């Protein structure tokens, strides 16, 4: 699908994977709206890069509805990338006893319910746009003509390799990300009737603000666990995959691991 001229909404867009994606989409000609929490650096980041910033909690129905409506008011909303999430850890049974249930529920609320909230609202807005013809379609080989290659939009969600290789202390995080991966195919199948694609990216160990708090030696050690390339992933590499997903009409209903072939150890 063509990026130029489309409105792109990126949650978690004030930093890390979301910011890199927002920058790439803007460079490709999209009108970019970033969504992040009110206390984030979203306002200053938007001013620096020329984005529109909307303060919202992805798990809040009213706040995200307003954010999607605002984005759709800037033009055809065709690209949504859901990067917002938290990585709170905790053992099921720790030194203080069982993991407080509210901590487990909070991770699922932000990562899984929040992602679904973004998807459902974005899909409803995309369904109201006019379809675009697939620029890669061959009219001579396509007996149905433009209708068979048309698209209204693309939604990219973010899981994690923890959905498949969860470590000790990641029960809540792994469950939330497994949920994101698990809902990708049924949502893609449903939204096909609206000419909307849905793809999930499952990153491995990436250079993000959460990693920035670790000592350099610790970051180097984590990077060396990646078979190839033996380093942390770069946000620009995540963004590059988002761009390819948007442009490639046959990518749909899939969860793509972006991890340098790492398989996480138990600890």
The confidence score (pLDDT) of residue 146 equals 47
Tens-place pLDDT, residues 47-87: 999 999 999 999 999 999 999 999 999 999 999 999 999 99
Q: What values do phi and psi take at 23, rounded to 5?
A: -65, -45
Q: Residue 147: its pLDDT value, please?
A: 52
- Residue 173 annotated as catalytic: yes
Cβ(158)–Cβ(17) under 8 Å?
A: yes
Task: Give the integer Cα–Cα distance in Å for 126 and 196.
Answer: 8
What pLDDT is recorded for position 247? 97
Choose the catalytic residue: 53, 173, 206, 238: 173
pLDDT at 165 over 50: yes
Query: How confident is the model over 191-207, as pLDDT tens digits?
Result: 999 999 999 999 999 99
Cβ-based neighbours of 163, under 8 Å, separated by 6 or more:
174, 177, 178, 180, 181, 202, 255
- Residue identified by tokens 């203080």 is 96
Nearest-angstrom CA–CA distance, 45 and 32: 12
Residue 144 confidence (pLDDT): 47
pLDDT at 140: 54
Q: Helix 101-108 to helix 171-191 angle, to the nearest 10 degrees?
A: 30
What DSSP string runs through 137-185? --TTT-TTTHHHHEE-EEEEEE--THHHHPPTT-HHHHHHHHHHHHHHH
Strands 153-158 and 196-203: parallel
pLDDT of 3 above 70: yes
Q: Map out the domains of the chain with their CATH numbers.
A: 7-256 (3.40.50.720)
């Amino acid at each position: 699908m063509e990026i130029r001229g489309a409105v792109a909404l990126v949650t978690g867009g004030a930093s890390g994977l979301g910011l890199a994606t927002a920058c790439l989409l803007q460079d490709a000609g999209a009108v970019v709206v970033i969504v992040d929490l009110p206390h984030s650096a979203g306002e200053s980041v938007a001013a620096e890069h020329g984005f529109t910033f909307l303060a919202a909690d992805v798990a809040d129905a009213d706040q995200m509805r307003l954010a999607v409506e605002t984005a759709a008011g800037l033009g055809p909303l065709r690209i949504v990338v859901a990067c917002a999430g938290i990585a709170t850890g905790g053992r099921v049974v720790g030194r203080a006893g069982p993991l407080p249930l509210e901590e487990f529920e909070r991770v699922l609320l932000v990562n899984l319910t929040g992602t679904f909230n973004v998807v459902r609202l974005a899909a409803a807005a995309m369904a109201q746009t006019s379809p675009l013809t697939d620029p890669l379609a061959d009219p001579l080989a396509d007996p149905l003509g433009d209708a068979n290659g048309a698209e209204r939009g693309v939604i990219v969600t973010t899981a994690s390799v923890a959905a498949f290789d969860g470590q000790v202390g990641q029960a809540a995080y792994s469950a939330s990300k497994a949920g994101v991966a698990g809902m990708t195919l049924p949502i893609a199948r449903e939204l096909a009737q609206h000419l909307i694609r849905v793809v999930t990216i499952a990153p491995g160990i990436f250079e993000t603000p959460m990693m920035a708090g670790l000592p350099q030696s610790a970051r180097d050690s984590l990077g060396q666990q990646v078979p190839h390339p033996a380093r942390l992933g770069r946000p620009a590499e995540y963004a590059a995959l988002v761009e390819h997903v948007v442009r490639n009409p046959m990518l749909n209903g899939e969860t793509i691991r972006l991890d340098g072939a790492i398989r996480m150890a138990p600890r």
